[in-house]
Amino acid sequence: MTTFKVLEQNNPRVDAWEKVTGRATYAGDVYLPGMLMCKVLASSRSHARIVSIDTSKAEALPGVRAVITGADFPEIRFGSGALKDRYILARDKVYYIGEPVAAVAAEDEITAQEAIGLIDVEYEDLEPVVDPLVSLRAGAPSVHPDLESYEGYGFTIEGGNICTLLDADRGDVDQAFAEADYVFEDTFRSQGINQGFLEPMACVASVEANGRLTVWASTQGPYQVRAQLASVLDMPLSNIKVVPMELGGGFGAKLRLAFEAYPALLAMKTGNPVKLINTREEVFTLNGPRHPVTNYLKTGVNKDGAIVAREGYTIFDVGAYLGAGPNSGIGHGLGAYDIPNFRLRSYAAYTNKVYVGSYRASGVADMTFAVESHMDIIAHKIGMDPLEFRLKNAIKEGDIAVNGSRVPRNGLAECLAAVKERLGLPRELPEGHGVGIALCEWRSGAGPSTAAISVNEDGTVSLLTGSVDISGSDTSLASIAAEALCIGMDQVIVAKRDTDLAPFTGPSGGSRIVYSQGKAVELAAEDTRNKLFALAADRLGVPADALVCAEGRVYVQDNPPQGYTLGQLAAMSVNSRFGPIVGNAALSTLPYAPVFSAQAAEVEVDKETGQVKLTRYVQCQDVGVAINPMAVEGQLEGGAVQGIGRALTEDMLFDPETGAVRNPSFATYLMPLALDLPELETLMVRVPSEDGPFGARAVAEPPGFGPPAAIANAIYDAVGVRIRELPLSGERVLAALRGEGSDVAYIGDELDELKRAEGLAG
Amino acid sequence: MNKQSLSIKVNGRERQTLVAPYYSLLDTLRDELQLTGTKKGCDEGDCGACTVILDGNPVTSCLVLALSAQGSEVTTVEGLASPDTLHPVQQAFIERGGLQCGYCTPGLIMAAVGLLQDNLQPSAEEVKFAIGNNLCRCTGYTKVVEAILLAAERMAAAE
């Protein structure tokens, strides 16, 4: 393995001091003179026409400075992707309980809240549709009757409220099923999930003296917020500056425009800065969570355990607007396996519920629960060891991935082997105990990335990127720069950025920052180093390739005393023919680099109550190179705990009649606490990626995928019942133990209908 | 609503401010005393991000009415470090990677400080119990617990 000076070390975070002392500034910590407080009126109806809105009483309340409704915004629909299906503030219609209908700016929060209560809205109710399996049928109440007229609508299959179909095909699936020795079918359902970030959405907007709008935001994607804000305000993008503040967790929920437009418009109307902070209830009811997903899988297997065909139909409920939609779900219907013939479909169906947002590789955790439970079921039915069955079908270097690209070198087999060894599998456990495994896959995220590095006269460097720090990414980027420039971590200053200052970059999400943004930093550092070497070579009268660098110096390899410090070179550069030393890099994409993780759970199931106790959790991930092992472990542990919550306790409950969120609080939406968890055993293997910075791979997404299937498989191993619906609550396990458990609704009829619509035999 | 005078000792300093009867201690610290290190995650007592030490006990400051803390003594995350020396709990959080996004961190640190003022030899279970009301969505708690145990060890050694 390469010897690193900075990487593979547990360097403390660059922002640690400010965070442990309470000095880190989040959007809600921004206080400006004359600042007003904004509150939002939420729809009380699931699906209704707005007949009238009377804001006169609210406007008359002392302390109220402005009230806005949908009519105050330009009549422009926007969307997260191509399809523009949403107004920023309701116009004419509301599509879910909680949808913002009006907003108020007042001198203090309590006055704003009181004013909200004085706004009279007259609604004319329309029939709502809440269940996606009902919604996608032809003849269901239509959520967006004029969908076909929306900008970006490009869907060709008619029927119900389907707004997107993603598909992937290879080979002759029907023929392969006909020839397979066995064919297995299963349907799984995963629940609605909230991202659970601790910092509620917050922003402050202010019109500056020069007429430009500044927005201090809690966001993962400042450039996305700028673009979407410009769109809904019908304003030139150059009139807006977005300042991303410290991010108090996002996990995908803060990738796009949230509520920034309300304080922005209110600031423009009043001339005062305006602040909006969501309540925790609003985080649950107004902002996009993930919705339940129904997954039908069919697999053809031969007697030797080789999988020959897979069919997957996935139905994503997207709520009232496409939002993040099925997103990453498609393409993961094969799991981490090489399957020659497949037909995969992801349908997105509108319902009258809060629109769907992104959450840590949206959709993939749902797919992994289904695929990895299904794999376990098949292994048991054909009498193969579940781990050996996975290994037999695992995708390998040189295979063609579902996205059509060649699979590069990777550590999948090493991960499975490490978990097997750690647990001593196969293993006999006491009565009521069980062990289950899951294999998870993701790709290292790419996307536009930029970086600029300038060298200061004291030998430090200033690093400028447009990416918001997420999960310690600033520290990782600084480490990459330090490693490439032969300096210590403490010699790198990470600049605080905004959209005026930093070069454009994609949002911080999808595990793309270290892989892709980190690559830009590595390339910018190489550019910087080349310039330092050129100047040193010029001054020393030696060829540049005779030079090396270490410990902040550039020197002649054969004669180390002959050289300069970076500080000396920076000082010399100012008046040299080269000019000040600045390196930069930009890239738009990087080749596919898979990330694999093997995970295992041990559980104890109480047969009297059905209660599942997680007693052990082991995971091993191929990280390529650990830029910072402590930070990587932190990602793996935190991700696994989110997955454990998804497996056992977290469940967004929607009213079946109205679609309203029934448990919008941390007291009723149960995320894991320290006492709920066993010790986490976190292992890494290091098979360097071909293109990532110093061989690093993405880290943050896969750890959360495995727990639902690993724990479901462990429950089966412990007590012989198969739970196909999340969460794996004691209630469900007990019902299954008593033989009463209603299995997941079979989606046969819906499937036939979808296939007919596609022109396939039903 | 008429504001009333509140006298409270915060991080060793006597402070006086006017607060409405409905103000929480959390809102008073943040909005009136400019101590924004204490965070609001839920305002319902469920997440622990607003934990401060009130008269010696860790409390969720969102559930304390400011006027009920009349004459009390409060320590917030801003009151732990001197300008150049961190509290051992803060130092251990940095070294053990006990923080990520940092939003729950002040509350976790104050809950840990609350534990360690009474018990310098806590077990891992006692640490987990002490932070049993603090939600953290990033770390998975493992490194938080390790950090608190390290701080305890160092503080015990220094006694």
Per-residue pLDDT tens digits for A589-624: 899 899 999 999 999 999 999 999 999 999 999 999
The answer to whether A214 and A205 have CB atoms below 8 angstroms apart is yes
**Residues of chain B with C-beta less than 8 angstroms from the C-beta of A280:** 41-44, 46-47
Q: Is the pLDDT of residue B30 over 60?
A: yes
Q: Is the pLDDT of residue A106 over 80?
A: yes
Band of residue A729 on the pLDDT scale cut at 50, 70, 90? very high
Q: Is the pLDDT of residue A496 over 50?
A: yes
Alpha-carbon gap: B3 to the closest alpha carbon of chain A (Å): 14
On whether the B88-158 domain is CATH 3.30.450.90, my answer is: no
CB atoms < 10 A from the CB of B65, how many?
14
CA dist., res. A498 & res. A2, Å (int): 36
Strand, helix or coil for residue A725? strand
Q: What is the DSSP string of A434-500?
A: EEEEEEEEEE-----EEEEEEE-TTS-EEEE-SPPP-TTHHHHHHHHHHHHHT--GGGEEE----TT
Band of residue A693 on the pLDDT scale cut at 50, 70, 90? very high
Q: Is the pLDDT of residue B129 over 50?
A: yes
Percentage of residues in chain A with pLDDT exceeding 90?
87
Mean pLDDT of A488-514: 94
Mean pLDDT of A486-510: 95
Determine the residue of chain A that is closest to B95 in CA distance.
Answer: A12
For chain B, the domains span 4-78, 88-158
The reply to whether residue A665 touches residue B44, judged by beta carbons under 8 angstroms, is: yes
| Average per-residue pLDDT for chain A | 94
**Residues of chain A with C-beta less than 8 angstroms from the C-beta of B131:** 673-674
Q: What is the DSSP string of A555-601?
A: EETTEEEEEEEHHHHHHHHTTSTT-S-EEEEEES-----EEEEEEEE
CATH number for B4-78: choose from 3.10.20.30, 3.40.50.300, 3.40.190.10, 3.30.70.100. 3.10.20.30
The reply to whether residue B22 touches residue A110, judged by beta carbons under 8 angstroms, is: yes
Of the spans A72-81, A284-293, A438-447, B61-70, which averages the highest pLDDT?
B61-70
Scanning the structure block, which residue is given the tokens 């009006």? A102
Per-residue pLDDT tens digits for A198-250: 999 999 999 999 999 999 999 999 999 999 999 999 999 999 999 999 999 99
The reply to whether residue B36 touches residue A25, judged by beta carbons under 8 angstroms, is: yes
The full set of domains in chain A, from first to last, is 35-126+201-277 (3.90.1170.50), 293-444+591-737 (3.30.365.10), 446-587 (3.30.365.10)
The reply to whether residue A638 touches residue B78, judged by beta carbons under 8 angstroms, is: no
**Residues of chain A with C-beta less than 8 angstroms from the C-beta of B151:** none
Mean pLDDT of A71-85: 93
Q: Which of A351, A373, A435 is nearest to A660 (CA)?
A: A351
Mean pLDDT of A18-31: 98
Per-residue pLDDT tens digits for A735-752: 999 988 665 656 777 787
The pLDDT value given to residue A335:
95
Mean pLDDT of A171-184: 97
Band of residue A362 on the pLDDT scale cut at 50, 70, 90? confident
The pLDDT value given to residue A138:
81
Mean pLDDT of B127-135: 98
The pLDDT value given to residue A759:
72
Q: Which of A403, A230, A252 is nearest to A323 (CA)?
A: A252
The pLDDT value given to residue A157:
61
For residue B55, give the amino acid letter: D
**Residues of chain B with C-beta less than 8 angstroms from the C-beta of A25:** 36
Task: Give strand pairing partners of A685.
Answer: A622
Mean pLDDT of A703-728: 97
* A89: its two tokens: 């503030």
* B123: its two tokens: 């077990």
The reply to whether residue B38 touches residue A634, judged by beta carbons under 8 angstroms, is: no
The pLDDT value given to residue A741:
66
CA distances from A131 to A288, A293, A735 (A): 17, 11, 23
Per-residue pLDDT tens digits for A624-644: 999 999 999 999 999 999 999
The pLDDT value given to residue B1:
65
Q: Is the pLDDT of residue A762 over 50?
A: no
- Stated pTM of the model: 0.97
The pLDDT value given to residue A744:
62
The pLDDT value given to residue A330:
67
Alpha-carbon gap: A383 to the closest alpha carbon of chain B (Å): 36
Pairing of strands B4-10, B73-75: parallel
Q: Is the pLDDT of residue B137 over 90?
A: yes
For residue A446, give the amino acid letter: A
Q: Which of A683, A600, A695 is nearest to A643 (CA)?
A: A600
Considering only CB atoms, B128 lies closest to which of A13, A26, A675, namely A675
The answer to whether B26 and B43 have CB atoms below 8 angstroms apart is yes
Q: What is the DSSP string of A57-109?
A: HHHHSTTEEEEEEGGGS-S--B-SSS---B-SS--SEE-STT-EEEEEEESSH
Determine the residue of chain A that is closest to B108 in CA distance.
Answer: A20
Helix (H) / strand (E) containing A120: strand A120-125
Alpha-carbon gap: B61 to the closest alpha carbon of chain A (Å): 15
